[in-house]
């Protein structure tokens, strides 16, 4: 059995000739090396920033968060990060305690070179409110103005004075004093000029003493009891102001009532 040859003899093969590559010029080689270096650097930065996050420059430090810390603690925390501090003063804050850091620059988390100085601002406490000047005003109007300023009237004291009854004479503390919002302010109000003679109450019962005072335009004040054998029990043995003293309308007269010595 014979097989027919389909392939020509090896000597009849015609192999294609290999072409020589053109020589690479020096400028092109430098250009290729430059772009390869750029690609390698870009890859490193992408890996450093996104794949393995870390400071690009090892001598940079991350600014710590010190907002809310007392100033001394904030300085220690920043010094531990090899950074410095600079005091930028104080500002009012509605809730932060006095001396607490309320602002910093650079902000927390920023990468900063070593020895960078972090500016700090501390709280001086709530914004203070000056006591309004209400002298010469009616007591009710003075109370409303003080409330409108963010303060409260803690007490009202009446004194005898040669000014109309109910007129505000002064405040305690004095006008323009800076106070924390909501602080109490005392009002001193006139109860008029002392024109009424205080009647003699000695020997009267407390009820009769009240009646006599109200008839004169005055009022009974505190009633205390004291053991004594010099007066009948249940009668007034002392009073303040004393009988004959001039008092303004509505003045309170305190009395002392005798008790049985036993």
CA 147 to chain centre: 20
Model confidence pLDDT, tens digit, residues 110-138: 888 888 999 999 999 888 899 999 999 99
Q: What is the number of other CB atoms lying within 10 angstroms of the CB of residue 131? A: 19
Model confidence pLDDT, tens digit, residues 211-258: 999 999 999 999 999 988 888 999 999 999 999 999 888 889 999 999
CB-based contacts of 230: which residues, under 8 Å, 6+ apart?
237, 258
Domains of the chain, start order: 60-123 (3.30.10.20), 129-190 (3.30.10.20), 196-259 (3.30.10.20)
Q: What is the pLDDT along the chain (262 residues), one digit of tens a residue?
A: 454 555 666 566 665 665 665 666 677 777 777 888 888 888 777 766 666 555 544 567 899 999 999 999 999 999 999 999 999 999 999 889 999 999 999 999 988 888 899 999 999 988 889 999 999 999 999 999 999 999 999 999 988 888 888 999 999 999 999 998 899 999 999 988 888 999 999 999 999 999 999 999 999 999 999 988 888 999 999 999 999 999 888 889 999 999 987 6
Cis preceding linkage at 26, omega within 30: no
Q: How far apart are CA 55 and CA 48, in angstroms?
A: 8
């Amino acid at each position: 059995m014979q097989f027919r040859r389909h392939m020509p003899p090896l000597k009849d093969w015609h192999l294609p000739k290999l072409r020589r590559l053109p020589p690479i010029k020096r400028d092109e080689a430098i250009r290729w090396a430059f772009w390869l270096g750029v690609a390698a650097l870009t890859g490193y930065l992408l890996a450093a920033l996104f794949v393995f996050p870390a400071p690009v420059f090892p001598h940079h430090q991350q600014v710590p968060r010190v907002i809310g810390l007392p100033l001394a603690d904030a300085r220690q925390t920043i010094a531990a990060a090899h950074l410095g501090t600079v005091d930028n003063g104080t500002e009012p804050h509605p809730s932060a305690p006095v001396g607490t850091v309320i602002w910093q620059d650079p902000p927390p988390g920023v990468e900063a070179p070593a020895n960078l100085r972090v500016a700090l601002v501390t709280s001086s406490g709530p914004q203070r409110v000056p006591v309004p000047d209400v002298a010469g005003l009616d007591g009710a109007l003075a109370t409303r103005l003080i409330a409108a300023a963010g303060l409260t009237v803690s007490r009202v004291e009446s004194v005898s004075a040669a000014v109309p009854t109910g007129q505000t004479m002064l405040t305690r503390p004095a006008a323009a004093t800076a106070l924390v919002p909501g602080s109490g302010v005392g009002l001193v109000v006139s109860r008029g000029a002392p024109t009424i003679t205080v009647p003699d109450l000695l020997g009267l019962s407390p009820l009769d003493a009240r009646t006599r005072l109200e008839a004169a335009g005055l009022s009974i004040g505190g009633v205390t009891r004291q053991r004594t054998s010099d007066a009948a029990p249940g009668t007034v043995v002392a009073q303040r102001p004393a009988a004959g003293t001039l008092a303004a309308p509505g003045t309170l007269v305190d009395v002392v009532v005798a008790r049985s010595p036993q």
